[in-house]
Amino acid sequence: MILDIYDDSIKYSIKNSKSLLYFGLTLFSTFIIWMAYILILIHYQDANLNLKFASLIVPSLLTLIPIFLFLGYEYRILEISTHGMINGTDKVPEFNNLKEMLINGVKIFLVKFVYFAVPIIILAVTTTPFLDNISGGIIQTAGATISMILAIILYFVSFISLSNMAAHDNFKKAFDFKEIKEVIITIGPARYVLFYIGLLIIECVIAFVLFAITMIAMMIIGTSGINTLTSPEPLWWAMFFLTNLIFSLIIALAELFKTRGIGLIYEPVEE
């Protein structure tokens, strides 16, 4: 069954090239926003330092829009996958209704924020500067260990919670720990962890291979007369942006694969 999920997820991730393109462009737009900001800073490099720091608010806020769209699209994939069948006829969701995607993206962001806020708070409290004596060192070590273990546990649990939220289309279901626990027990904790580790390995292999192919292709182009160091400036920028666009698409493909797999391993609890 697990191998079937991997197989389905790979096929599903390349089923709709148009949606994959839009999915990748949301990531690429964050790159564009920050590149534009950096170029503006370079142009106005003599500006007041405080003004430069204050101006960080603009790209930071603008970046949230494509990030929420990216997460909102993942929500749709989870919604379809949690109700779908392995190697079935599930369609890749269209990249439309941006308002709904933004709202769902905010939901996923908030769930992840809440889950990981707990270990971060524990780490912050136990590593405060005033704990600098022997007992403080013990508390710091214990706090760091507890927060790390808790972060790993919550990392795995968070994916089931997101699937549970998407399956019911209900934000509160992401924190229904009783149901989430039953879902994990139904799947099998060890089976779920091994499945997810395998999913990550495949995702990394896919991304690495595609990244390597892209870099080799760019090197071949460079050695065949279009050298990024000696080429006219517009051509250098064209290659630079094209490479980052391809990288964005690769990341989107890998995330689509992983999200599909997480949605398929989810087994709803019978009410």
Q: What is the pLDDT of residues 182-193, one digit of tens each?
A: 999 999 989 999
According to the model, what pLDDT value does residue 129 have? 60
According to the model, what pLDDT value does residue 41 have? 75
Q: Which of 142, 15, 175 is nearest to 23 (CA)?
A: 15
Q: What SS3 class is residue 48?
A: coil
Long-range contacts of 139-143 (CB under 8 A, 24+ apart): none
Least confident piece of the model among 54-63, 83-92, 246-255: 54-63
Q: pLDDT (tens digit, 9 = 90+) per residue, 205-251?
A: 988 888 888 888 777 665 444 444 444 566 667 777 888 888 899 99
Which residue type is seen at 262?
A: I
According to the model, what pLDDT value does residue 271 have? 58
Alpha-carbon distance 177 to 66, whole Å?
30
Secondary structure tally for the chain: helices H, strands E: 9, 0
Which residue type is seen at 142?
A: A
